[in-house]
Structure 1
Amino acid sequence: MRRSGPAAIAAVVLGLEGVALAVISLIELFALGAGDASSAASGIALIGLTLIGAAALIAFAFGVLRRASWARSGGIVFQVLGIALSLAALTIRPTPWTFVLVLGIVGVVGLVTLIATVRREGADDPRLQGRSSDDE
């Protein structure tokens, strides 16, 4: 089984997003230790949720390389959420353009490559070959 180009790109994007979230959780941990959080309990919960998201993205990256449909669909959900977050950040004044552009561009690249992967691997799936709407 040979990996497709879009699948490899999608896995790299998902993996890098997972690493970025892990780094953000470390930054949150240091901020919590420095006393920058208004509530220690909510700070710990946020760090835990961020680590869960990072682990999910890394698992999706490995799953995409293994041609797992759950990984592709989960990755698509994360990319859509990233694009939505990027668009929502446009309402902040002053607009954090670096955040908006980086998150938006990475989200679009991830979404496009994951959809291309779904289309390519769906075309190669023998379970879907020879089926038409007349068969039902």
Structure 2
Amino acid sequence: MRTHIVARFAAIVLGLQGLAILALVVWQIWALVAGDTGSFESAVALVVLTAVGAVAVLAFAVATWRGQSWGRSGGIVTQLLILAVAIGAMTGAYAEPAIGFALAVPAVAALVLLVLAVRAAGRRAPGAASE
């Protein structure tokens, strides 16, 4: 199955997001080693969960690149979660609108690309309804 160009762009954005999450893991490990944490156990748990998230996003990127629907679906869910975090960063008592904006822009771009990739895949699928 040939992957549509939009899906390739979506996979690239997902891959960059996965690499950014890996960079966050490195930063968290650095803070853990430097003793810049309130609770060692909580910090280790957060590092593990962040690493699992990074691996998942990278897996979604690879699957999207290969044209597999589960990668697109997981990528869409990931973008919605990132947008929820971005909205949280933009609002509230400790709002950081710049951080929220920096999270929201690539998430919206990836979400649009992924939805377009789903639509393109539906057009190519055998037995798909014609427009």
1:93: how far off?
A: 4.5
Query: What letter matches 2:28 in structure 1?
Result: E
Tell me the secondary structure at the aligned position of residue 128 of structure 1.
coil
1:6-37 CA-to-partner distances (Å, cap 9, x unmatched) read: 10111011000100000001100010111111
Question: Whole-Å Cα distance in 1 between the matches of residues 39 and 122 of structure 2?
Answer: 47
Matches within 5 A, 1:59-98: 59-93=59-93, 95-98=95-98
Q: Matched residues in 1 for 2:89 and 2:33: separation?
A: 27
Unaligned segments of structure 1, at least 5 residues: 131-136
Would the aligned equivalents of 2:91 and 2:97 in 1 still touch at CA under 8 Å? Answer: no
Q: Does residue 1:41 correspond to 2:41, yes or no?
A: yes
Give the residue type in structure 2 aligned to 1:105: V
Unpaired runs of 5+ in structure 2?
Answer: none
Is 2:36 the counterpart of 1:31?
no
Residue identity over aligned pairs, in percent, reads 39
Shift of 1:95: 3.3
Q: Which residue of 1 aligns with 2:55?
A: 55
- Larger Rg over CA atoms: 1
* Structure 1 counterpart of 2:22: 22
Aligned to 1:133: none
Q: Give the C-alpha shift of residue 83 in structure 1.
A: 0.8
Q: Once the 2 structures are TM-superposed, how far is the Cα of residue 44 of structure 1 from its aligned partner?
A: 0.6
Query: For each residue in 1:25-77, what CA deviation from the matched residue of structure 2 results, as whole angstroms up to 9, or x when unmatched?
Result: 11000101111111111111100010111101111111001111111100000
Number of aligned pairs? 130
CA distance in 1, matches of 2:68, 2:58: 13
CA contact (8 A) 2:2 2:67 kept: no
Q: How many angstroms does 1:90 deviate by?
A: 1.4
